[in-house]
Amino acid sequence: MTATTDTAPTRPLPVLDEADTGPFWRACAQHRLTYQRRRSTGEVVFYPRAHDPDLETLDSTGRGTVYTFTVVRQHGHPFFRVHTPYTVAYIDLDEGFRILTEVIAEPGTIRIGQRVHLDWEDHDGTAIPVFRPAG
């Protein structure tokens, strides 16, 4: 006999102690979206890297524009399957980097060029950056 449970499936979560991305995800747990900038040139760097001593870490304002998006209507992972349909988008942040993320809005209401702002999906020990349409 197999036992059944009524618990909702959980989202796959990042590894918080990974050398390059761990500091990024630990900042997310504090509701801080961080990116890096090269001190010598001012070049914005994203995804995070731990191996370059010329990089400084800064906080994003969390405001940006939808670069492109898709609506996911089917997914094999149990967590995402129960959340379909949902929108995934590349967001161009005002600081000059692009992030792939979920946009929390009714599918079909998101448009390329639309302004969005940062929000958070909280989990035990961390938070996932998501975006919502700007007011």
* pLDDT on residue 5: 52
Residue 13: which H helix or E strand, with range?
none
Percent of the chain with pLDDT over 70: 94
Taking residues 76-105, report their average pLDDT: 93
State how far the alpha carbon of 60 is from the alpha carbons of 22, 25, 33, 134, in Å: 17, 14, 6, 16
Structure confidence by residue, pLDDT tens digits, 51-62: 889 999 999 999
Give the residue with greater pLDDT, 35 vs 81: 35
The model's pTM is 0.87
CATH number of 22-133: 2.40.50
- Domain segments of the chain as ranges: 22-133
